[in-house]
Structure 1
Amino acid sequence: MIVYKQVDSLKELEQILTLQQLNLPKNISQEESTKEGFVTVEHTLDVLKSMNEVCGHIIAIDDGQVVGYALCMHPKFAEDIEVLRPMFKEIETALNDNVRYMVMGQICVAKSHRGQGIFRKLYQTMKRKLPVGFDTIVTEVDGKNKRSWMHMQR
């Protein structure tokens, strides 16, 4: 049975990084990248841990193993990851100043567990676990990531 929860251990953060490595473009073929999707950002343990301390990342656990994750990224981290800076600038431009938002950062589901509704349950769990005072969740998908793009349209 898959359990959805917020990260509460270093081991879970390390498992996120392992799953992330398996889905970075540098570690998969172009064919797999097109068919299965990919993740864009390679996080460090320190950054992932800092982000988690502000708002716990959402994970799907199956038999003690992280099989999916949705990273929670508070706007205070807008300058910490260079490739994401334009996204935060766009969000700030698009949203009313009163809107408090959390970014649903990178999302990844293990190949062995895709097609089982895990993405939707990660999102629903994040929505329930948003810190008090936050109004909405914002996310961005790389235009080259066809699988993820199509998934977001559902």
Structure 2
Amino acid sequence: MVIYKQADSLKELEQILELQQRNLPKNISEDESTKEGFVTVEHTLDVLQAMNEVCGHIIAVDDNKVVGYALCMHPRFGNDIEVLRPMFQEIDKVLERKVNYMAMGQICIAKTHRGQGIFRKLYQTMKEKLPKGFDTIITEVDGKNKRSLVAHTAIGFNTLTIYNSNGKEWHVLSCYK
């Protein structure tokens, strides 16, 4: 049975990084990335731990193994990961009012557990666990990652803006609590 919770151990953070490695474009075929989707950012354990201390990452655990995750990234980490800096700049440009948001820094489901509603449940749990005062989740998706764009739209995310950075088209998406 899959349980959903916030990460609270080094072992869970290490398992997040293992799952991340298995889904980076450099570790999967182009055909697989097109069909199954992919993750873009390669986090370090130090950054992952620092982010987790501010707002615990949401994980799906089956038989003591992390099979899915949604990373919580407080905006104060906006300069810590180079590839995400443009996203935070775009968010600042397009937000019409003061919105207290948490960035969802990456979401990933193990291949063995896809198609079981884990994606939706990770986001539902994230909404429930957001720190007091946060009312929105914002994320971005590589325009080539059609599976992820469709999945985010299906659970209620809307496009805030689309921009180009480092030769890629990025879709900034938001979902209110």
Band of TM-score, shorter chain = over 0.9
Cα distance in 2 for residues equivalent to 1:134 and 1:44: 25
Cα distance in 1 for residues equivalent to 2:110 and 2:31: 17
Cα distance in 2 for residues equivalent to 1:38 and 1:2: 22
Give 3-state SS (helix, strand or coil) of 2:56's partner.
coil
- Choose 137-146 or 47-56, whichever is displaced more: 137-146
Give 3-state SS (helix, strand or coil) of 2:140's partner.
coil
Question: CA shift at 1:97, angstroms?
Answer: 4.8
The structure that is helix-richer by fraction is: 1
Give 3-state SS (helix, strand or coil) of 1:8's partner.
coil
Q: Which runs of 4+ in 1 moved over 4 A?
A: none
Give 3-state SS (helix, strand or coil) of 2:84's partner.
helix
Question: CA shift at 1:95, angstroms?
Answer: 1.4
Give 3-state SS (helix, strand or coil) of 1:40's partner.
coil
The structure that is strand-richer by fraction is: 2
Report the counterpart of residue 92 of structure 1 in structure 2.
Answer: 92
Cα distance in 1 for residues equivalent to 2:141 and 2:153: 11
Question: CA shift at 1:59, angstroms?
Answer: 0.1
What's the RMSD between the two structures over aligned residues? 0.8
CA deviation vs aligned residue, 1:3-37 (integer Å, no higher than 9, x gap): 00000000000000000000000000011111110
> Which residue identity is paired with 2:110?
A
Question: CA shift at 1:153, angstroms?
Answer: 2.0
Report the counterpart of residue 32 of structure 2 in structure 1.
Answer: 32
Q: Show the 5 A alignment for 1:89-128.
A: 89-128=89-128
Report the counterpart of residue 140 of structure 1 in structure 2.
Answer: 140
Cα distance in 1 for residues equivalent to 2:104 and 2:131: 13
Stretches of structure 1 that go unaligned for 5 or more consecutive residues are: none
Report the counterpart of residue 16 of structure 1 in structure 2.
Answer: 16
Stretches of structure 2 that go unaligned for 5 or more consecutive residues are: 155-177
Q: Higher relative contact order at CA 8 Å, sep ≥6: structure 1 or structure 2?
A: 1
Report the counterpart of residue 130 of structure 1 in structure 2.
Answer: 130
Count of aligned residue pairs for this structure pair: 154
